[in-house]
Chain A
Amino acid sequence: MTSVLYDLPGPKARRRNLLLSVLATAGIVALIAFIGYKFSATGQFEPRKWEQFQYASVQRELLTGLWATLKAAGIAAVLALLFGAVFASARLSDKWILRVPATFVVELFRAIPLLILIFFGYYVPLQYGWSIDKLWALVIGLMLYNGSVLAEIFRAGINAVPYGQSEGAYAIGMRKNQVLRLILLPQAFRSMLPAIVSQLVVLLKDTALGFIITYPELLFVGKQIGGRLPFGLPYVPAYLIVAAIYISICGLLSILAWWLQKRLSRLPRTAGKVLPAQDIGRDASARV
């Protein structure tokens, strides 16, 4: 295999690569061994620290936390998609009275840290003595931020459909609404899908911010389980299990996004360029 950086290796390069491979493997094994040593030296493999994960009540606790995470993510995802659709169509509008405020809102919410948006939903009602569920403080923040990012993805998807498509549709006498609904959206949807799925992965990951406003989601439950003295404060096992849950769910969704991207890029019916699924930082769409 040649790459930009390397040619096919000759005998000398093969020897050098083999040597580097051996050294690298030794280094990685040493790193893992060191971590394993640290774990065993501090008693992380003691059965006492892992015992409670066999209890049905603790498993139920983890599931309740996972459910709280998925509930927040689910509600926020639906609202963010709606928010994104509304603001994307406003930004694509011909009327400046719709376009300018929508642009302002979308740019503003993407520039504010998500945690600050969540704090708006959390602290401001407290100030006026309204009672608001922590779930909704989290959901509102997630909706505003991810909705704005999704609005940019939608807009980029529609703009990625070749101009001739809408030109042709207008030429055969379709109205603006029909062009958008019958011509642009079906084609844009295919090119947006991978980017939408990976933004939803970002949204799911960001529900962990609920931890900071003490919304009882998965990470919060993990801390409670880890803080139990009779089991020797098993923070390490608890967080490893929580991490495994997050990584498997988000990983599966990321693989779906990647698979969609590969598949849709191959389909001849995808007129526009498929937007990449990777989330580069959290601001993938800032570049679109």
Chain B
Amino acid sequence: MAEFLRVLTDNADLFREGFFNTVKLFLIAGVGSLVLGMLLGAMRVSPVPALRAFGATYVNVVRNTPLTLVFAFLVFAVPKLDVNIDYFPSACIALTLYTAAFVCEVVRSGVNTVATGQAEAARALGMTFGQVLTLIVLPQALRAMVPPMMSVFIAMLKNTTIAAGFSVLEAGAIPAYMSERGEPQFAVLLWITIGFLILVLPLVALQRFLERKWAVAR
């Protein structure tokens, strides 16, 4: 047990930097994928066929591609196109591009959960598009979107570990550094697990709470 604690205290620098970068990656890619995903989602529910087709193609291609491949493409292939991006920004872009497809699906299915009659009634009352969207559709759609959106972001938080394979020092990269320091890996991995549980479990609890609180009876 003393040995187990020693692994953490002796390598506190590495654990701190690793988890700090994990959270940084999560926040940057979270904002990025939320923006890109909402844009794609808006395309998918728009009345313009070209935009709908573009959104659908993007989602279907990205959802059937492994995230590791997206990372590898950005890190190894993109520099060959004379576009040089550092490792950390590459990781942010890879996570953003990948997660945006899932955010897009959440937005689309959230909007689709609202019954057509709701909007028809609103239009019959003479509401404009902006009013229908902000007063009728979004308040209902947002409630349906929040729990699955949190699932997407919990999955993304766990996916940040993949950046470890592509020269980013985050929590997933700690074992490789610890190999050099000759620390017992089982203890190291247990500490990383505990770190992730501390990050993930509050999000899961919040998600379940919101799901119960905002359940819409339809």
| Chain A residues at the B interface, C-beta cutoff of 8 Å | 2-7, 9, 13, 17, 20-21, 24-25, 28, 38-39, 41-42, 44, 108, 111-116, 119-120, 123-124, 126-127, 201, 205-209, 211-212, 219, 222-223, 226, 233, 235-236, 238-239, 242-243, 246-247, 250-251, 254, 278-284, 286-287
Assess the A223–B80 pair: CB atoms within 8 A.
no
* A246 interface neighbour in B69, B81, B83, Cβ under 8 Å: B69
Q: Which label, helix, strand, loop or mixed, suits the secondary structure of the A interface?
A: helix
Q: How far is the CB of A43 from chain B (nearest CB, A)?
A: 9
- A44 to chain B: which residues have CB within 8 Å? 80-81
Known contacts A116-B193, A280-B102, A283-B155; A2/B116 CB under 8 A: yes
**Chain B positions within 8 Å of A278 at CB level:** 105, 109
- Rounded to whole Å, the gap between the CB of B14 and the closest CB of chain A is 15
- Across the interface, do A239 and B111 meet the contact criterion of CB distance under 8 Å? no
With A24-B48, A280-B148, A280-B151 as known contacts, state yes or no: A113 contacts B80, CB within 8 Å.
Answer: no
CB distance from A223 to the nearest CB of B (A): 7
Distance in Å from the Cβ of B129 to the closest Cβ of chain A? 8
Contact residue among B45, B115, B172, B211 (Cβ-Cβ distance under 8 Å from A287): B211
B80 near A235: Cβ-Cβ < 8 Å:
yes
A112 to B65, CA, bound (A): 22
Can you spell out 23 A-B residue pairs with CB atoms less than 8 angstroms apart? A3-B47, A4-B111, A4-B112, A6-B47, A113-B196, A114-B158, A116-B172, A123-B175, A123-B189, A127-B186, A205-B67, A209-B66, A211-B68, A222-B72, A226-B76, A226-B77, A236-B77, A239-B72, A239-B73, A246-B66, A254-B64, A283-B155, A287-B151
14 other A-B residue contacts (CB within 8 Å) besides A108-B197, A119-B172, A281-B151: A6-B129, A25-B50, A111-B201, A112-B196, A119-B189, A124-B186, A235-B80, A238-B77, A243-B65, A246-B66, A281-B153, A282-B159, A283-B155, A286-B151
